[in-house]
Amino acid sequence: MLVQGTNAPLELQFDRDLSDMDKLVVSLWSLSGNLIKAWDEDELTIEEDTVLCPLTESETADFPNTFVTVEAKGLDEDGAILFWDEVTVQMVKRNDRIIALIDTGSE
Protein backbone atom coordinates (compact mmCIF):
# COMPACT_ATOMS: atom_id res chain seq x y z
CA MET A 1 0.00 0.00 0.00
CA LEU A 2 1.16 3.51 -0.86
CA VAL A 3 -0.37 6.51 0.87
CA GLN A 4 -1.02 9.80 -0.93
CA GLY A 5 0.87 12.67 0.66
CA THR A 6 3.55 10.53 2.33
CA ASN A 7 7.30 10.83 1.93
CA ALA A 8 8.08 7.28 3.00
CA PRO A 9 10.10 5.45 0.32
CA LEU A 10 8.68 2.57 -1.66
CA GLU A 11 10.53 -0.47 -0.29
CA LEU A 12 10.98 -3.50 -2.53
CA GLN A 13 12.47 -6.84 -1.54
CA PHE A 14 13.88 -9.01 -4.32
CA ASP A 15 14.71 -12.70 -4.57
CA ARG A 16 18.46 -12.06 -4.90
CA ASP A 17 21.23 -9.70 -3.84
CA LEU A 18 21.23 -6.71 -6.21
CA SER A 19 24.56 -5.22 -5.11
CA ASP A 20 26.25 -6.46 -8.30
CA MET A 21 23.64 -5.04 -10.72
CA ASP A 22 25.14 -2.83 -13.43
CA LYS A 23 21.78 -1.19 -14.06
CA LEU A 24 18.42 -1.23 -12.27
CA VAL A 25 15.24 0.61 -13.18
CA VAL A 26 12.06 0.64 -11.10
CA SER A 27 8.90 2.21 -12.48
CA LEU A 28 5.40 2.92 -11.26
CA TRP A 29 2.54 2.67 -13.78
CA SER A 30 -1.17 3.40 -13.76
CA LEU A 31 -3.38 0.44 -14.70
CA SER A 32 -4.18 2.29 -17.94
CA GLY A 33 -0.47 2.13 -18.86
CA ASN A 34 0.66 5.68 -18.06
CA LEU A 35 4.08 6.11 -16.46
CA ILE A 36 3.70 7.74 -13.03
CA LYS A 37 7.29 7.66 -11.73
CA ALA A 38 10.60 6.00 -12.65
CA TRP A 39 13.86 5.59 -10.73
CA ASP A 40 17.25 4.48 -12.03
CA GLU A 41 20.13 3.05 -9.99
CA ASP A 42 21.49 6.53 -9.18
CA GLU A 43 18.26 7.42 -7.36
CA LEU A 44 17.78 4.09 -5.60
CA THR A 45 19.25 2.89 -2.33
CA ILE A 46 20.26 -0.75 -2.83
CA GLU A 47 21.05 -2.82 0.26
CA GLU A 48 21.59 -6.45 -0.74
CA ASP A 49 18.09 -7.73 -1.71
CA THR A 50 16.20 -4.57 -0.66
CA VAL A 51 15.70 -1.45 -2.77
CA LEU A 52 14.39 1.87 -1.46
CA CYS A 53 12.71 4.14 -4.01
CA PRO A 54 12.53 7.68 -2.61
CA LEU A 55 9.26 9.60 -2.76
CA THR A 56 8.34 13.15 -1.83
CA GLU A 57 5.13 14.31 -0.22
CA SER A 58 4.26 16.47 -3.23
CA GLU A 59 4.81 13.55 -5.64
CA THR A 60 2.61 11.11 -3.77
CA ALA A 61 -0.11 13.73 -3.26
CA ASP A 62 -0.49 13.79 -7.06
CA PHE A 63 -0.52 10.00 -7.48
CA PRO A 64 -3.84 8.51 -8.63
CA ASN A 65 -6.20 7.17 -5.99
CA THR A 66 -6.36 3.66 -7.44
CA PHE A 67 -4.23 0.58 -7.93
CA VAL A 68 -0.82 1.04 -9.56
CA THR A 69 1.74 -1.38 -10.94
CA VAL A 70 5.40 -1.56 -9.86
CA GLU A 71 7.84 -2.90 -12.45
CA ALA A 72 11.56 -3.63 -12.05
CA LYS A 73 14.17 -4.63 -14.58
CA GLY A 74 17.92 -4.78 -14.44
CA LEU A 75 21.19 -5.61 -16.15
CA ASP A 76 23.49 -7.89 -14.19
CA GLU A 77 27.30 -8.08 -14.27
CA ASP A 78 27.15 -10.70 -17.06
CA GLY A 79 25.03 -8.46 -19.30
CA ALA A 80 21.86 -10.49 -18.78
CA ILE A 81 18.61 -8.52 -18.67
CA LEU A 82 16.50 -9.49 -15.67
CA PHE A 83 12.75 -8.90 -15.36
CA TRP A 84 10.81 -9.41 -12.16
CA ASP A 85 7.09 -10.04 -11.88
CA GLU A 86 5.01 -6.88 -11.79
CA VAL A 87 3.31 -6.08 -8.50
CA THR A 88 -0.02 -4.30 -8.17
CA VAL A 89 -0.20 -1.94 -5.19
CA GLN A 90 -3.11 0.12 -3.88
CA MET A 91 -2.68 3.88 -3.65
CA VAL A 92 -4.71 5.04 -0.66
CA LYS A 93 -6.16 8.53 -0.34
CA ARG A 94 -5.73 10.17 3.03
CA ASN A 95 -8.21 12.73 4.31
CA ASP A 96 -6.12 13.98 7.23
CA ARG A 97 -4.28 16.63 5.22
CA ILE A 98 -4.69 19.35 7.86
CA ILE A 99 -4.08 18.63 11.51
CA ALA A 100 -4.48 21.56 13.88
CA LEU A 101 -1.86 21.62 16.58
CA ILE A 102 -2.96 23.88 19.41
CA ASP A 103 -0.44 25.35 21.82
CA THR A 104 -1.91 25.18 25.29
CA GLY A 105 0.98 27.08 26.81
CA SER A 106 3.45 25.92 29.41
CA GLU A 107 2.64 25.61 33.05
pLDDT at 66 over 60: yes
Task: Tell me whether residue 13 is in a domain.
Answer: yes
Q: Binning pLDDT at 50, 70 and 90, where does residue 46 land? A: very high
User: H-helix or E-strand containing 70?
Assistant: strand 67-75
* Domain assignment of residue 78, given as a range: 2-92
CB atoms inside a 10 Å sphere around CB 99 = 5
Task: Tell me whether residue 45 is in a domain.
Answer: yes
CB–CB of 51/45 below 8 Å? yes
pLDDT at 101 over 70: no
Q: With the C-alpha atoms ordered 31, 36, 42, 48, is the resulting torsion angle positive or negative? A: negative
Identify the CATH number of the domain in which residue 73 sits. Answer: 2.60.40.1220
Mean pLDDT value across residues 85-94: 90
Name the domain count of the chain: 1
Task: Tell me whether residue 97 is in a domain.
Answer: no
Backbone angles phi, psi at 7, to 5 degrees: -115, 15
